Chain A
Amino acid sequence: MSDTTLDRATETQEQLRDFVALLKPRVMSLVVFSGLAGLLVAPGSLHPFLAAVAVLCIAVAAGGAGAINMWYDRDIDAVMSRTRARPIVQGRVAPEEALAFGVVLSLFSVMVMGLALNWVAAGLLALANLFYVFVYTVWLKRRTPQNIVIGGAAGAFPPMIGWAAVTGSVSIESLLLFALIFFWTPPHFWALALYRSGDYARAGVPMLPVVAGEGATKRQILLYSLVLLPLAPAPALLGTAGIVYGATALVLGLLFLAGALAVLRAPSGADTDRAAKRLFAFSILYLFLLFALLIVDRGEGLIGGLGLA
């Protein structure tokens, strides 16, 4: 193989890697996992190929929204150390190319979801993407410290979309799964913002620690973890999951609360950073474990199992 051919092969691989990076694969993994959980716990059945298509649509739509977000936020991404290496900032992908990529992926995923599954799921998918792009990215992110509280709704849609792909409707159970991610998002991002507040301040993003200070953020984290404590086991009471899920969700909730208390008690500086980093890492594990358990222990649940329903 000549040097030129090798160079071109490397260039192709690098370009491919850049376009994959535009899709925010790490965020996508959580979105796909929660979407899959919604699909599996929903009552009813779906052809395995159609189920795979539904998950693919959720993944591609999330990736498309991520690409549009990177296009819009390229100015602040260049300032923050966490996002400085992104392909648009580095000049490896043209901004308009990233935008076109994101819009095409979003449109195709919604269209395929509608044609292959149903239009309720497609509508929710479109709503999630529009919410992420227009409400969170364009409107709230640079304006209010409540950006991730309201904007977090976009990330809470996937289990509801998965549920709707099977049932063709929205129900109290799927709304509960939505609420679970909705109330998990603020403490998760505020823990990150606590030890990255300098980054956000430089970029002019009004995250809670930047605007309201460390103390207020710590108290808000504790408040949200208190809300999560009874909320996470609730699917077991509604019959979406079994008692094993319910009990483990309660234990995980207590661990989350302990992490939030550790953050609250930590003295300002390196100790707070360490506690916040630990809580941020645990919050990811928390959500993965909750949804994994939901998949494994789906079924009648406590009330149905005891014949009380």
Chain B
Amino acid sequence: MPELKDPNDRRRRPGSSDVHHAKRRKNLALLFALLAFIVLVFFVTMIRMGG
């Protein structure tokens, strides 16, 4: 499980914690899944409309 970095660490930048990285990874996975779904629906529509 990702952990939050020390909030008092001066080198810490916004969005650089493990939690943020884990969240970003999930968002990217979701983006790819949605893009794949759009491509799938596009081709299915083309084939079905083409008879």
Which A residues fall within an 8 A CB radius of B?
A: 8, 11-12, 15, 47, 49-50, 53, 91, 94, 108, 112, 115-116
Contacts of B37 in A (CB 8 A): 108
- Give the size range of B's interface with the partner: 10 to 19
Contacts of A47 in B (CB 8 A): 47
B44 at the A interface (CB under 8 A): yes
Q: What would be 19 A-B contacts, judged by CB atoms less than 8 Å apart? A: A8-B21, A12-B25, A15-B25, A47-B47, A49-B43, A49-B44, A49-B47, A50-B47, A50-B48, A53-B40, A53-B44, A108-B37, A112-B40, A112-B41, A112-B44, A115-B41, A115-B44, A116-B44, A116-B48
Which secondary structure dominates chain B's binding surface?
helix
B4 at the A interface (CB under 8 A): no
Q: Which of B32-47 contact A (CB under 8 A)?
A: 37, 40-41, 43-44, 47
Q: Which of B1-32 contact A (CB under 8 A)?
A: 1, 21, 25
Contacts of A49 in B (CB 8 A): 43-44, 47
What are the nearest 8 A-B pairs in CB distance?
A116-B44, A47-B47, A12-B25, A49-B47, A49-B43, A50-B47, A8-B21, A53-B44
Closest residue of chain B to A48, judged by CB?
B47
